[in-house]
Structures are given as structure tokens and as C-alpha cells.
Amino acid sequence: MRNVWDINAIAEALLDQTDQGVMGLDRDFRIVLCNQWLTGHLGASMDQLLGRPIEEAFPGISAESLALLRECLVSGLPRVFSPVLRKVPLLPLGAGHPYVRVVPLADDAGETAGLILLVQDLSAQIGYERDIKSRYTAMVEASADHLYLLSPDGRYMASNDRVQHFGRERGADLLGKSFEEILPLPVVGHFRRAFNRVLEGEPSAVFEYVREIEGRSRWCQTSLYPVMREGKLWAIGGACRDVTEQRDAEQQLRQAQKMEAIGVLAGGVAHDFNNILSVVMGYAQLAMGEVEKGSRVYTYM
């Protein structure tokens, strides 16, 4: 009876149950080990792969990839090959995006006897990240605000296309330029002070300014905030919003409040004046009772 706790049995079970490919190569780059994940992705049986050179098992493998594997074999150092960083994958895996970790194996003499390749298909993850990026891009481009990123030295790293207030057609027209080249001279000083406050560690900085756009004065509100990566300042994020309608509404509200206050004041004055007149009329009525009717005084009263 097979001992289920035998180390070889355990290793075989783990190889077949893992969600990544495992392949062993000898010094001649012949396949001496592979698991079911790998055979399933290649559409080949274990017998068809074992003992074959890697270039036969992977007909599309490039000369560059073979050179990189030989480099690992010679140096004895592990390497990681990411599909995100490489245009050509280390191992062609159909339509997949293989992430490959190469681990050299040393013999008793310390010499590299072969390589273990751990292969993961990142297609789902990369597809998800691309979908998220696509949605994020659509959201940024659909915004009515001008959204952008500035490098710590004040140059535009990214921008959506809401740049008409700069007299530009596309956000790409700003890339690589400093905000001092783009903003009107009267605004540069305000922007520089807000920018420096964020550089010095403030969580945000907001200011407003007025500029002429298409022959009309427009209120623009700019917000700046830090963008961190690994605990360090990577960029300065910014948003510029046209708040003209809001400021106009606030001005109309203030004007209405002033008119209301004037109305209340006028009503109060009229009420007080009416009280005084009531007293005068009352005394006049009393006085008329003491004056002979038809006399000149009575007529006046």
C-alpha cells in the first residue's frame, strides 16, 4: 500500500493541485518535470512533454527568452519575468499573459544543475486591471472639471481634455510643460503658493481666481492635493472647476437679502411713524371737543 505521507507522494499531490504551472529543466533545457496545470494550458500530455527540449514544447519561444534562461543557469540567480514589463513573454502561452519565476537548482557541489520555472497566467488580473483603468479613464474624461497631475517640480504629467479655459484643445497639449508656462501671469503667484503648501505637507490647498473666457469673466476654483506612493510624495493632483454659476447665485442671494433687509427696515419705520401719527390724531380729536364749532381754530383742526 502506498504511504500517503511519503514526501514524494505529497510533492506530487501539491504539484497537481497548485493553480500555477511548474516545469523543471536540466542543463540542456530538456523538460524533466511538469504538472497538470502546465499540460492543460499547453494541450499536451505529460509523456509528450517530458524529455523534450523546451524549444520543441514551446515552438514560439524567442531566442531572447532562451538567452535569458541560459543567463539564469550560468549566474545561479533567480529571476522574475512579468508580462506587464515585457512586450514578448518569456514563455508563449497561447493568448495568456504568463508571469514566470525562474529558480536555479544547485547540486551537492554548488553547481547549477537545472532550473525550476513557476508559471502563473495573469490574464484575468490584467484584464481586470485594464477594465478598471478603462473605467477610470472614462470617468476622468467625462468630468466637467479639469483634472490633472503635476510632478513635484510643477510639470503636467497627465490631464483630461477639459482645458478650453487655457485656450487648448487637448489635455495632451499640457504634458511636459510647467504650470508657469500655462497659467495666466496674475494666477501663477496664487498657484505657486498653493502648490508649495501641498509640497510642505498640507493635505489640500484651495483658491479661486477670475479670468476672461470667451469675453466673459469666469470664476475658477482650483484644488490641489498630494498623491502618495509607498509613503512618499509622487505627484500633486489638481482639479479646476468653473464655479461662476454658483458665485452668481450667491451674489443674487446676497442682493435679495439686502432688499429684504431694506423692506424690513422700511416697514419698521412706517410702523413707528404710524404710532406717532396715532398719538397726534388722538390729541387733535380731544382738542376739537374743547373748541367752538365753526371757529377758525376748529377749521384748522
pLDDT digits (tens, 9 = 90+) for 253-269: 777 778 877 877 877 77
pLDDT for residue 191 is more than 90: yes
* 119 and 13 within one domain: yes
Angle 271-275-280 (CA atoms, 0-180°, nearest 5)? 145
| pLDDT given at position 277 | 76
Q: Within a domain: residue 221?
A: yes
Own/partner pairs for 167-173, CB < 8 Å, 24+ apart?
Answer: none
pLDDT for residue 274 is more than 70: yes
* 58 and 86 within one domain: yes
Mean pLDDT, to the nearest integer, of 104-109? 88
Give the domain extent around 288.
Answer: 249-300
Q: What is the pTM of this model?
A: 0.53
Q: Within a domain: residue 58?
A: yes
* 208 and 183 within one domain: yes
Cell matching residue 84:
506587464
* 264 and 235 within one domain: no
* 221 and 116 within one domain: no
Q: Within a domain: residue 132?
A: no
203 three-class SS: coil
Distance CA 206, CA 187 (A): 13
Mean pLDDT, to the nearest integer, of 182-188? 87
Task: Tell me how many domains the chain contains.
Answer: 3
The residue among 212 and 138 whose pLDDT is bigger is 138
